[in-house]
Amino acid sequence: MSRWGKTRHLQRGALALLLLLSLAPVSAKAEPRFASLNVCADQLLLMLADREEIASLSYHAVDPNFSFYWRSALGLPVNRGQAEELIAARPSLVLGGTFSNPATQHLLDRLGIAVLPLEVPTDFAGIRAQILAVAEALGHRARGQALAAELDRRLDALEPAERGQRPLAAVYQENGISAGRGTLVASVVEAAGFDNLATRLGFSGYAALSLEELILHRPSLLVTSLEASDAPSLARQTLEHPALKEVAEHAVRVTVPAALWVCPGPYTVEAVELIARERARISAEAIP
């Protein structure tokens, strides 16, 4: 069968499934049912929707390496981003976005299933705005307002860094990747009261930071990240390089659980609080 023939066959199959579902009996007033196509959208549903309203989550929702609310996701239906799965789940709204299958999102839209595309916020203003927007779309405005207010309260509770009292922090992750301007990780480091080395060096987005640069700038804090499984890998060997011992001689090292900032959410403030505690420690040790 040709590529075009396969495409037409899949489209006919999806349309046939939709026709069968449309003939199934439904209640006069259908309850809202929500689905998500990626792990970041999963977190929003798990925070904001009632459990019985969740029709389907992405299969990453139960992975503790990426999903902050993985325990809450246990026992709920999951999908692998295929249109047939979502059609069968009969959601009234699907949360999609940048990292979701665009073909699935387009087909769902063509079939009349509402899709809410979500960007990935890179700062706390964006996180707050997304929480409120999704809560509104799900019909849980008050729940979203409460989460946003708690996020603001915890950020406001952080001890502000005085002018000239912002130590230098370097983010150094697998394969020597660091986070510069326009990233959530940089926003977290800066909200915790540190200057971010990658930003100082003019990095935008995620880019490799050489060990030479790391040693040369002598950061006060070295920030690494950790997945829940922490399985050995070639990428992680960078974090065990002997040259890092020289950095560690004059830097505090802090490890942030990856699930706190893989996906932006109100829980990301925990990463800020974790790093901010190290700033207080560094400041105290600097006092003669």
Residue 109: what pLDDT?
A: 87
Beta strands in the chain (DSSP E): 34-36, 54-58, 78-79, 93-95, 115-116, 168-171, 177-179, 195-196, 206-208, 221-226, 252-257
| Rounded alpha-carbon distances, angstroms, from residue 145 to 128, 130, 134, 184, 225 | 9, 11, 11, 22, 30
Residue 284: what pLDDT?
A: 72
- For the entire predicted model, the pTM comes to 0.84
Give CA–CA dist 84/236, Å, rounded.
37
Neighbours of 210 (CB within 10 A): 11
Give CA–CA dist 100/36, Å, rounded.
9
* Structural tokens at position 227: 């997945």
Instruction: Return averaged pLDDT per consecutive 10 residues of the chain, 288 residues in all.
Output: 47 47 43 92 98 96 96 96 91 88 88 92 97 98 98 93 80 92 97 96 95 92 80 59 74 93 96 94 68
Neighbours of 132 (CB within 10 A): 15
Residue 220: what pLDDT?
A: 95
